[in-house]
Amino acid sequence: MTVPSADVSILHRADGSARYSAAGYTVVAAVNGPIEVTRRDELPQHAALEVNVRPAVGVGKRHLESLIHSTLRDIVLTHMHPRTLIQLTLQIVNTPEQENTLLASFVSLSHIPMSNTFTSTLLAVSSSGDLSINPAPKVLLSASSAHVFAFSSTGNLILDLSEGEFDLDTWEKAHDKAKEECCKEQLSEDAMEEGKPSLQGFVERVVEARVDKERAWKNG
């Protein structure tokens, strides 16, 4: 697994933004809201949530937008801003040969109130049962099954998207490996150098660095 990198507040005209790179993918996320919503989309007790995914080439992917929307619906605290709109745009900048991006972690870096942060990961299972985390496109194409899992910061499973041929035992092994990758305790510096960071710990470090920077600016 390659060590991911992330930057926050990279877009000056967005209320919240982040750039995330891992395994050959780079995605820029922008969040605006709460902003004015059209009367047609207005919800009396909640903010409307809009998700737009812009691939590097081609048209937007409705299935991916719907998947992200359903995942975020119970995480974003929409009841805090009724009759408004929260807009999330994800621009895929770089991809390997096959496009199979994981986008949920970007939203945890925005400035929108949320009940939890969360992370996600992709696993491929070979015909011999070997597990690969964030596999290369060639590995993914030859896999007998592929699994996307997302976990909240408290370790709860909030997304499971599995495709291919697999049994319950294989799914449980993939689930446990994904949870370990997303939710395990922060590792030592030696483990970080070996490229095995906790994804949740990674998100927390990025956000903490941003908060420290803002505090230093205010106190300066």
User: pLDDT by residue (tens digit) across 32-75?
Assistant: 999 999 999 999 999 999 999 988 766 667 888 999 999 898 88
What value does the mean pLDDT take over residues 87-108? 63
Q: Mean pLDDT, the chain, as a whole number?
A: 81
Per-residue three-class SS string for 67-92: HHHHHHCCCECHHHCCCCEEEEEEEE
pLDDT of residue 57: 67
Yes or no: domain 5-219 corresponds to CATH 3.30.230.70: yes
A 10 A CB-CB count for 106 gives 25
The pTM of the full predicted model, rounded to 2 decimals, is 0.73
Q: Is the pLDDT of residue 105 over 90?
A: no
β-pairing, 85-94 with 48-54? parallel
Q: Is the pLDDT of residue 170 over 80?
A: yes
What are the extents of the domains in the chain? 5-219
